[in-house]
Homo-oligomer: A and B are copies of this chain.
Amino acid sequence: MHTTKILLAESEIPTHWYNVVADMPNPPAPYLAPNGELITPEMMGAIFPPAIIEQEMSQQRWIPIPEEVREIYRLWRPAPLFRAHRLEQMLGTPAKIYYKYEGVSPAGSHKPNSAVAQAYYNKAAGIRRLTTETGAGQWGSSIALAGSMFGLEVRVYMVKISYDQKPFRRSMMQTWGAEVIPSPSPLTASGRQILAEHPDSNGSLGIAISEAVEEAASRTDTNYALGSVLNHVLLHQTVIGLETRKQLEQVGDYPDMIFAPCGGGSNVGGMMFPFLADKAAGKNIRLVAVEPGSCPTLTRGHYAYDYGDTAGLTPLMKMYTLGHDFMPPGIHAGGLRYHGDSALVSQLYHEGLIEAVSVPQIATFEAGVMFAKAEGIIPAPESNHAIRATIDEALRCKESGEAKTLLFTLSGHGHFDMASYDKYFSGELEDFEYPKEALDAALLNLPKVSAPA
């Protein structure tokens, strides 16, 4: 009999988050205002509570997780690490495949790891309401869940194409008491401006962020919560990698390669950062971010200062970007349609510590169905990206005979994405390579700014 699930007791939920900034070869590029000045903590105070701002700027290696947050984590954490025996057999690969399954959270993905922390710090700061955006719905569900746990009102701006494709994500958020608004909406100036220019807009994460930020900035009882990209979000997600390290130690293993889906970077940071110090110290481990060919931020974007949202309300961050006015195609991995990427992930990619690959959409669903038939769990379309890259590597191992240890993040289940699977089964899905002309045009629209010396 093979052990399938590697479990940890609740007492082994990490007590601290890991801040990769402490171990990066170079300090992170600072956030800038449009005039080139450094963003100060005070400037962020309009939409974030003090503890979050401190984490966003912190250089401290270990940051304690409040007991109130660990108490909620206990509802699903530690998340199981699986050895994919049946997938290995199906592929006939000598590689060992592990996956960390974050779909055990009530919202069905890794996103509550940060949502719960953010709700806690906002509640502690006397905030009564949160606004946020959501693409695939995983972040919106998570902040709805976290809001209900701490008694906060939640309003979610949901990218319109996802709102239409995934009605039951909306019902899920409503079950936890949140209000869900399709974005672009007439409720904000940012939304109204987009609707005036593109009345049939599918929306985008960038637009939804503009709407949520605008509302939070205009109300003192309301703050904003972001589900990816920012340092503090990736910090909260490091419980994924910290637990996984322990679980692999328990079975005496260590990964040769780690794969995670990459949209804004919360999966990549969450799983990979706790392994990054090893890599920086010369350990032979490869960290591979996997993104859609239709939204190839790391693999084909520009490394430059850009806004995090469409309307230009956020600070400028140095990151790989497709341009903040990027209008993504309606691919089904809604969580991977963001124009930019975490500044930390971008810098580590730029410095060669993290790699990236892009994969076409149809091949990701093919991988997801193969995985479901072998391992049972039906994955989220975002997770299918990591599965595709892992399977490809496992098949290369089959050719070469190498018995590599592969690890990927199964970031969530696909229970709210079955309409996308239906489209895959019926042959309606398309592959889409982002056109070079659009990338070149975006370059012209990047804000002209440079960091102070």
Q: Footprint of B on A, CB under 8 Å?
A: 1-5, 7, 9-10, 67, 70-71, 74-76, 82, 86, 104-108, 145, 148-149, 167-168, 171-172, 174-177, 369, 372-373, 375-378, 413, 415-416, 418-419, 421-422, 425
**Residues in B whose Cβ lies below 8 Å from that of A67:** 1
Min CB–CB distance A73 → chain B (angstroms): 9
Q: Is the CB of A372 within 8 A of B108?
A: no
Could you show 8 A-B contacts with beta carbons less than 8 Å apart? Answer: A2-B71, A3-B74, A7-B7, A75-B376, A76-B376, A167-B422, A175-B378, A176-B373
Complex Cα gap A373–B415 (Å)? 20
Complex Cα gap A167–B67 (Å)? 41
Q: Is the CB of B376 within 8 A of A149?
A: yes
Known contacts A4-B10, A176-B372, A376-B145: A171-B75 contact under CB 8 Å: no
Complex Cα gap A71–B3 (Å)? 9
Q: Is the CB of B375 within 8 A of A422?
A: no
Complex Cα gap A86–B149 (Å)? 9
If A106-B377, A148-B373, A172-B415 are given as contacts, then 14 extra A-B residue pairs at C-beta distance below 8 Å, sorted by A number, are A4-B75, A5-B10, A5-B74, A5-B75, A75-B82, A105-B376, A108-B415, A168-B418, A168-B419, A171-B418, A171-B419, A175-B372, A175-B418, A415-B416
Complex Cα gap A4–B78 (Å)? 12
Which one of A3, A4, A174 has the highest number of Cβ atoms from chain B below 10 Å of its Cβ? A4
**Residues in B whose Cβ lies below 8 Å from that of A413:** 415
CB-contact partner of A376 in B1, B3, B106, B377, under 8 A? B106
Min CB–CB distance A164 → chain B (angstroms): 15
Which one of A2, A75, A177 has the highest number of Cβ atoms from chain B below 10 Å of its Cβ? A75
- The number of times this chain is found in the oligomer is 2
Which one of A108, A378, A416 has the highest number of Cβ atoms from chain B below 10 Å of its Cβ? A378
**Residues in B whose Cβ lies below 8 Å from that of A145:** 376
From A148, which residue of chain B is reached at the shortest CB distance? B373
10 closest residue pairs by CB, A with B: A106-B376, A168-B418, A171-B418, A415-B415, A4-B74, A148-B373, A106-B377, A75-B376, A171-B422, A175-B372
From A5, which residue of chain B is reached at the shortest CB distance? B10
Min CB–CB distance A85 → chain B (angstroms): 9
Complex Cα gap A174–B368 (Å)? 13
**Residues in B whose Cβ lies below 8 Å from that of A378:** 106, 172, 175
Min CB–CB distance A417 → chain B (angstroms): 9
Min CB–CB distance A109 → chain B (angstroms): 12
Q: Is the CB of A373 within 8 A of B177?
A: yes
Which one of A5, A70, A176 has the highest number of Cβ atoms from chain B below 10 Å of its Cβ? A5
From A8, which residue of chain B is reached at the shortest CB distance? B7
Which one of A106, A168, A176, A416 has the highest number of Cβ atoms from chain B below 10 Å of its Cβ? A168
Q: Is the CB of B71 within 8 A of A1?
A: yes
Min CB–CB distance A402 → chain B (angstroms): 27
**Residues in B whose Cβ lies below 8 Å from that of A376:** 75-76, 105-107, 145, 149
Complex Cα gap A224–B148 (Å)? 44
Min CB–CB distance A432 → chain B (angstroms): 23
From A112, which residue of chain B is reached at the shortest CB distance? B376
**Residues in B whose Cβ lies below 8 Å from that of A86:** 149
**Residues in B whose Cβ lies below 8 Å from that of A7:** 7, 9
Min CB–CB distance A82 → chain B (angstroms): 8
Complex Cα gap A445–B2 (Å)? 53
Complex Cα gap A148–B369 (Å)? 11
